[in-house]
Each structure stands twice: as structure tokens, then as C-alpha cells.
Amino acid sequence: MAIFKGAGVALVTPMKDDLSVDYDKLEELVDFHVNNGTDAIIVCGTTGEAATQTHEEHLATVKACVEFAKKRIPVIAGTGSNCTETAKYLSQKAEEYGVDGLLVVSPYYNKATQKGLVGHFTAVADSVKLPIILYNVPSRTGCNILPETVATLAKNVDNIVGIKEASGNISQVAKVMQLTDGKIDLYSGNDDQVVPVLSLGGVGVISVLSNIAPKETHDIVAKYLAGDVKGSLELQLKYLPLIDALFSEVNPIPVKKACEFMGMHVGNLRMPLTEMSPEKAAVLEKEMKKVGLL
């Protein structure tokens, strides 16, 4: 049984003017997603600026999100780290707070071997009882989880149940599903590849687009899983220009700007991320207007 099927939002972390976490706004965002068709909330991932949060802030944000969600939809906590012991600690604390699952990114900067990845993910998984979704995003981590490694983990570690695939390599995704006999919950990690990933047996997406278009992103998946492949594809293609604009600068710079355009007021970014360039912001605003978000 998948932790969720459909569109999970890779949630932005709202900030006050002093760049502390804005918990009042976080509660508003959680309610917004519950009320607009989002199928799960992924808190403190890349889009949530976890890399610039202290461990205490990270865990406080996770705890608050669980409390605000009130079990209405699943909450999945990003608890990955390039330090295995840190990833274990964050995962154990998130489990204490009542999250429904964990999203664990491959260790960044260290560039572990595939043997090291097996050891890392196994150690994290063994430290908790929660279901775990691996997160493969080599463009950000410098480390690719190969299909053979995914298969080894899925077959030997009971609570490693899914993978968020953001390699962009559809052939690699296909190989993952072939080597695991399709017995892993596959989520697209790229908003522009939802339909292709679903066609390979995927069950959903962990989405940046969902921050501003939750119902529409949900519908891309829901239509496909209901057999309306044409309707799903039409939505996927309709939103491609907006998705491109959302990734015209490093995530989450554009999506926070998009939230601002919609009046969500999620605050500024923590350094080293900086304000979006006016030229690219103008393109983003234009694409949002084209699809009726503004």
C-alpha cells in the first residue's frame, strides 16, 4: 500500500521578514492544500529550504506540519543528510512526531559509492519503522542511485517502499521498474515528466507545481490512474511552459515568487538563494496568467 497516490506537494517553508519560520502561514498553507486536492504534504525537502534550517528548526517545522494536518492527508518528512547519523536522528525524531513516511535524499557532496548508498539507506531505514521513499536527484547531490542499487534496497529492506525519481533519465526509471518487478512505489520528481513516469508504473508525483496549482497537478495523476490518459496528457502539456518558468532559476526561487504573485506571502529566501531576476519573474507571471492562476 503506497504512502500516497496522486500529487504530493514539495511544500515551501514560509518565512517572516526576519527569515524565521512563519508557523501561522504554514498552517494556512497546510489548510490550502487539504482543501484543494493535494494528496500528501512533503515538508522540509529541497523546496522547503531544509538545507539552510538548523536541526531544531527543521524538526520544529515537521512537528508543526503534522499538528496542522491533523491526519487529513499524509505528511512525509524530508530527513536526508550527507551524514548517516544525522539522517538517522532526523528520521527518528520525525517518527516520534507522527509523520506518515520519510523522504530520504542520497548523501550529497560526499559522492558515496553504490555500496556506500546501500549501507547509508539501510542504516537509516533500520533506525525507524516508517516507510521510506528514496530520493534520487543527482543534479543536486552529485550522486546517482543506480537502478541495481534501488533494486537491492527494495528487495532487502522492508520499509524502503518507494523512490522519488528526479534524474530526468526515463531509461533509468524504466530500468528501476524492470529490476524491482514494478514492486516499488515510483514518484516523478520532475513536474515535466509526470505522465512519462506514470506510464512506467508510477503512482504519483512529488511536485513543486502543486504549491500554486494543487488541483491541476492532482488531476494530471488522477486522470491517468483513472484511465483518462488523453486528459492527463493534455494537462501535462498545458502546464509545461509554466513548469519551465518554475525551474528557470534554482528551486525554490521561482516558486516562492509565484506564491507571492498569488498573494500567499510566503516570505523571502535564505542565503545563498537570492531574489529572482526581474526578467525571469516577468516570464513566470506571464505563464501563470496564461493558465488562469492570476
Residues identified as active-site: 135, 164
* Other beta carbons less than 10 A from residue 218's beta carbon: 23
| Residue partners of 71: CB distance under 8 A and separation at least 6 | none
Q: Is the CA virtual torsion 191, 7, 215, 35 positive or negative? A: negative
Q: Which residues does 96 contact at the CB level (< 8 Å), separation at least 6?
A: none
CB 167 within 8 A of CB 173: yes
CB 210 within 8 A of CB 14: no
Residues 6+ apart with CB under 8 A from 153: 118, 121, 122, 125, 134, 160
Residue 78 CB partners (closer than 8 Å, separation 6+): 42, 43, 44, 45, 46, 48, 50, 102, 103, 104, 105, 135
Cα radius of gyration (the chain): 18
Q: Rounded to an integer, what distance in angstroms lies between the CA atom of residue 137 and that of residue 129? A: 24
- CA 45, CA 215: separation in Å to the nearest integer? 21
d(C-alpha 272, C-alpha 291), whole Å:
31
